[in-house]
Amino acid sequence: MKDLRYLDDVSSLVLDEEKCIGCSLCTEVCPQTVFEMRHNKAHIIDFNACMECGACVNNCPSKAISVSPGVG
């Protein structure tokens, strides 16, 4: 879905990699493929693809991800 974009650099997505436990749920639930796993930690690979749906936040057991839907 790389062709679906809104505005660059407006997403409120934040990932605290230190809190990440490497469960990979964010990579499974993100409809825009914003995350990928590297060295057993999630990394944001396509920040501007985030549509602030909250799927990653709602599924992150360690609360390593935050987003304020509707802000960006």
In a domain, 67, yes or no: no
What is the pTM (predicted TM-score) of this model? Answer: 0.86
Residue 71 pLDDT > 90, yes or no? no
The number of beta carbons lying within 10 Å of the beta carbon of residue 58 is 11
Q: Whole-angstrom Cα distance, residue 52 to residue 40?
A: 24
Per-residue model confidence (pLDDT) at position 4: 65
Per residue in 9-62, pLDDT tens? 888 999 999 999 999 999 999 999 999 999 999 999 999 999 899 999 999 999
Radius of gyration of the chain from its Cα atoms, rounded to whole angstroms: 11
Report if residue 14 sits inside a domain: yes
CATH number of the domain encompassing residue 1: 3.30.70
Domain that holds residue 46: 1-51
Q: How many domains does the chain have?
A: 1
**Residue 68 included in any domain:** no
pLDDT for res 2 = 56
Indicate the pLDDT class of residue 5, thresholds 50, 70 and 90.
low
DSSP-based three-state secondary structure for 38: strand
